[in-house]
Amino acid sequence: MNVGRRIPQAARAGRNRLARKLGLLLSLLRRIPSADRFVRDDAWAHELFPLTSSLAGKRIGIVGLGRIGQGIARRLTGFDVEIAYGGSKVEGVPYVMFSDVQQLAAFADILIVCCPGGDRTRHLIDGAVLSVLGSSGFLVNVSRGTVVDEAALIDALENGLIRGAALDVFEKEPLIGSRLATFSNVVLTPHAGSATEETRHTMLRLALDNIHRVLDGSCALTPVQ
């Protein structure tokens, strides 16, 4: 078995996850789920679908510029956007850093949350941050559900404090009976960032390769730091 070939496969799995995150963003801006229902419900015969928003030219604020955040940023550069980030300082990146998340939200048209979960980031995105993001701003959460104060987000959506949101993670999963499901300007997916057949196969293959190497007395391909 040539386990050395598995690292490129792991990178490919990461690219698949990033593609889904970008797909979530584009679905939000272009209202793709609503457009699908519009056609299926025969509404097109009676009216025109409302105008949507382009990604081009937007200011993107990324909360957490780790491996995933940097991957998202690299892929967004092709859309002619302006990128800034918040969180720990990252050397060697061409993006402006904001030390305060409210300042980042004030800069951004779209705030993408991809920082770690845990006590340090619990409800980092609260009512104050959403208010600063503003009525033309979009929120995308692809990190952990606890990072966003869902009660504050629902309030912001009900009162038009932000323009819309796309969420792949939630404070309580599965999401059942939530008011988030009632908003037409919200895109919801079931914590499915890595949920492709190809990615899950690659994840399993990499886990097995790690186990085989450790049992053979070698270093793991992807050791936990």
How confident is the model over 22-57, as pLDDT tens digits? 999 999 999 999 999 999 999 999 999 999 999 999
Q: Which residue has the higher pLDDT, 192 or 85?
A: 85
Alpha-carbon distance of 52 to 57, in angstroms, equals 14
Report which of 108, 125, 71, 78 is spatially closest to residue 93, judged by C-alpha positions: 71
DSSP string, 73-103: HHHHGGG--EEEEESS--TT--SEEESSHHH
40 is catalytic: no
The domain segmentation of the chain, as residue ranges, is 18-193, 194-225
* H-helix or E-strand spanning residue 28: helix 6-30
144 is catalytic: yes
Alpha-carbon distance of 199 to 9, in angstroms, equals 9
- Judge if the upstream peptide bond of residue 8 is cis by omega within 30 degrees of 0: no
Q: Which region, left, alpha or beta, applies to residue 31 given φ > 0 means left and ψ of -120 to 50 means alpha?
A: left
173 is catalytic: yes
Is residue 144 a contact partner of residue 170, using CB atoms and an 8 Å limit?
Answer: no
pLDDT of residue 217: 92
Give the position of tokens 């496969």: 9
Residue 56's SS3 state is coil
Q: Which of 12, 67, 173, 200 is catalytic?
A: 173
Q: Which of 179, 191, 205, 212 is catalytic?
A: 191
Per the prediction, the chain carries an average pLDDT of 90
Give the architecture-level CATH label for domain 18-193.
Answer: 3-Layer(aba) Sandwich (3.40)
